[in-house]
């Protein structure tokens, strides 16, 4: 028997043995052992080969005393499983961007066991082998974030075509979003059935929307996905990037945890969300470049802002940068654990 998980306790706002920490994109190119594998195998193959994806998922847990593992995959992987032709260059590039009702009608439903069996097998392998029995987070992309890539076809700063789609073809946009919400809900539920112990939706581009459009278009699809995922009986996490205008909109979403970026003050976030939610975040990924004593000061400020009430999961405010020194992550994890 392994010790009760500090991460799962914090998700449920119980008092954990220590303040839990994990890092968004903790498996990836800042780790030499990841780069060594990637030198031999391309990213898509890595995500589709369960023993390699499980190995990459566990790499950061061997190196650091992280409190959770996150499935190594990508938000676009289930869309590939639905037959969407895309490549990673390294960001996702969709060969035929979705702009018409006919394309939306032609999207098949996602049947995870049939379309992405390798993801479910990766989860089983991680659960059987993960260091220290750390809990495993399954994840999917937020419907609006996925729509940004599907409509624009490639990474972008503004995702203008996706935002214009909301205004030009609101009914089609709503249908696409709800369809993605259904697929991601089913996908999350299947990940939990395979062994994922918490489920997270990444809404990386939520901050492009005003509260009105977020509430009208993005949020109903999130509610739909999370309503399905809820049946898994595990904690649900909704990460909202650049969501400072969206906190009251998400405050009544039925999830245990809201993840936020580094621009926000966690004390303010907790006041807006109320005592019914845990928070995850939110050190600036750039802070990992500070001198060791300074890093403690910056991490300490995040902990101060989160306050003493249970329900804080330490994390970065967005994914770790690929040129981050791994030693900085080791120091951060130790500091968060010692400081309590």
Query: Binding residue for ligand CP3 (CB under 6 A) from 20, 28, 81, 135?
Result: 28
What's the closest the beta carbon of residue 68 comes to ligand CP3, in angstroms? 10
Cβ(177)–Cβ(220) below 8 Å: yes
Cβ(194)–Cβ(124) below 8 Å: yes
Q: What tokens does 185 get? A: 């809900």
| Binding status of residue 78 toward ligand CP3 by CB under 6 A | no
CA distance 324 to 326: 6
| Binding status of residue 155 toward ligand CP3 by CB under 6 A | yes
| Binding status of residue 64 toward ligand CP3 by CB under 6 A | no
Q: Is 331 a catalytic residue?
A: no
**Strand order across the 198-203 sheet:** 69-70, 136-141, 198-203, 236-240, 257-260, 278-283, 312-316
Residue with tokens 């996908």: 187
What's the closest the beta carbon of residue 91 comes to ligand CP3, in angstroms? 4
Query: Between residue 250 and residue 289, which ones bind ligand CP3 under the rule CB under 6 A?
Result: none
Q: Is 29 a catalytic residue?
A: yes
Query: Between residue 37 and residue 56, which ones bind ligand CP3 under the rule CB under 6 A?
Result: 38, 43
| Binding status of residue 70 toward ligand CP3 by CB under 6 A | yes
What's the closest the beta carbon of residue 205 comes to ligand CP3, in angstroms? 7
CA distance 330 to 220: 39
Marked catalytic residue, from 13, 19, 25, 48: 25
Q: Is 149 a catalytic residue?
A: yes
CA 156 remoteness from chain centre? 19
| Binding status of residue 75 toward ligand CP3 by CB under 6 A | yes
Q: Based on C-alpha coordinates, what's the Rg of the chain?
A: 19
Query: Between residue 5 and residue 24, which ones bind ligand CP3 under the rule CB under 6 A?
Result: 24
| Binding status of residue 197 toward ligand CP3 by CB under 6 A | no
Cβ(35)–Cβ(29) below 8 Å: yes
Is residue 105 exposed (0-12), middle (13-18) or buried (19+ Cβ within 10 Å)?
A: exposed
Closest residue to ligand CP3 in the complex (CB): 204
Which chain residues interact with ligand CP3 by CB under 6 A? 24-29, 38, 43, 70, 72, 74-75, 88, 90-92, 139, 155, 202, 204, 241, 319
Catalytic residues: 25, 29, 38, 74, 149
């Amino acid at each position: 028997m392994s010790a009760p998980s500090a991460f799962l306790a914090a998700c449920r706002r119980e008092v954990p043995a220590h303040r839990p920490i994990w890092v968004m994109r903790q498996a990836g190119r800042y780790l030499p052992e990841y780069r060594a594998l990637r030198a031999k195998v391309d990213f898509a193959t890595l995500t589709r080969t369960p023993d390699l994806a499980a190995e990459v998922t566990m790499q950061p847990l061997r190196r650091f005393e992280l409190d959770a593992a996150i499935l190594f995959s990508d938000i676009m992987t289930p869309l590939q499983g639905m037959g969407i032709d895309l490549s990673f260059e390294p960001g996702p590039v969709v060969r035929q961007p979705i702009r018409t009702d006919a394309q939306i009608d032609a999207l098949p439903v996602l049947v995870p066991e049939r379309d992405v069996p390798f993801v479910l097998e990766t989860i089983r392998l991680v659960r059987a082998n993960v260091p220290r029995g750390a809990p495993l987070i399954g994840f999917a992309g937020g419907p609006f974030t996925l729509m940004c890539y599907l409509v624009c076809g490639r990474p972008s700063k503004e995702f203008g075509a996706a935002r214009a789609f909301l205004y030009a073809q609101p009914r089609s946009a709503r249908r696409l979003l709800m369809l993605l919400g259904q697929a991601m809900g089913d996908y999350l539920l299947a990940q939990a059935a395979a062994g994922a112990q918490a489920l997270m939706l990444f809404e990386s581009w939520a901050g492009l929307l005003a509260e009105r459009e977020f509430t009208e278009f993005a949020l109903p699809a999130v509610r739909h996905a999370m309503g399905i995922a809820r049946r898994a009986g595990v904690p649900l996490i909704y990460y909202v990037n650049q969501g400072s205008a969206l906190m009251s909109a998400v405050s009544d979403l039925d999830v245990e945890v809201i993840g936020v970026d580094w621009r926000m003050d966690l004390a303010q976030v907790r006041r807006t969300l109320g005592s019914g939610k845990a928070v995850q975040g939110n050190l600036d990924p750039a802070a990992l470049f500070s001198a060791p004593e300074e890093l403690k000061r910056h991490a300490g400020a995040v902990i101060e802002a989160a306050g003493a009430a249970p329900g804080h999961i330490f994390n970065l405010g967005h994914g770790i940068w690929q040129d981050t020194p791994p030693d900085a992550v080791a120091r951060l994890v130790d500091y968060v654990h010692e400081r309590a």
